[in-house]
Amino acid sequence: MLLGGIQVNSLFLYGAMVFAQATAMPVDPALAVRPTPVAEAPTAAVAPATLRLPALTPLRLRVIGEVSSKTHVNGDKVQIVLAEPLRLSETLAIPAGTPGVAEVIHSSKGGMGGKAGELLVAARSLDLSPDLHIPLRSFRLAPASGKNNEGLATGLSIAGGVAGGIAAMVMTGGSARIADRSEAFAKTATDVDLPITQLQTLTAPPIIVR
């Protein structure tokens, strides 16, 4: 069949060829349709898992049980506890009553001729758990209430070779002793990172344990 001098079958064939060439032509990247980027949700701030307790932080302790040159010898352990909460932030603290350990590093009984008894005690650590210890140093007794230490317990800071620490020397006439529930001071020996899960949350000013 002829249409205007051109065979119809030839027209269809020509159109198919043109269409095939058009669909095979490469697409200009500048004209390509790109997907709209999806905005990422802001990342929430991650709360720290630990708080650092700096070295040389002062703290107040209490001695549990009497310690005497009559009954204690070198190497004996002495129980101590934290006397008041130790704040690490506005809302977190090491709780009062946290146990710790001191050690008798020198004990000498009083003798004839008025020889004074001697007792040398060093604070070793506060123990938040069986696996978490806060090393201590610079242990010294607090004055008895309303008195100084003379005649009762003279706290002397002396440099020694005991774990590079500082200890408290107690010297009295007769036997040397530290009374039960005597208060003392110490400092942290090193920086320690403490898990927040093991700290006390404070909702009010700390209450001092007496």
pLDDT at residue 175, as a whole number? 80
- Is 133 within a domain? yes
pLDDT at residue 29, as a whole number? 60
- Is 3 within a domain? no
- Cα–Cα nearest to 183, from 91, 71, 80, 39: 80
- Is 21 within a domain? no
- Is 116 within a domain? yes
pLDDT at residue 194, as a whole number? 96
- Is 20 within a domain? no
19 Cβ contact partners less than 8 Å away, ≥ 6 residues apart: none
pLDDT at residue 20, as a whole number? 58
CA 199, 200, 204, 209 dihedral sign is: negative
pLDDT at residue 176, as a whole number? 87
Distance from CA of residue 85 to its chain's centroid? 14
pLDDT at residue 46, as a whole number? 75
- Is 156 within a domain? yes
Label residue 10 exposed, middle or buried (CB < 10 Å: 0-12, 13-18, 19+): exposed
Count: domains in the chain: 1
- Residue-number span of the structural domain to which 66 is assigned: 54-191
119: domain CATH number is 2.40.128
pLDDT at residue 63, as a whole number? 97
Q: Which residues in the chain come in under a pLDDT of 50?
A: 1-6, 146-166
Amino acid at 108: S
List, for residues 164-187, the tens digit of each pLDDT value.
344 555 655 578 889 999 999 999
- Is 71 within a domain? yes
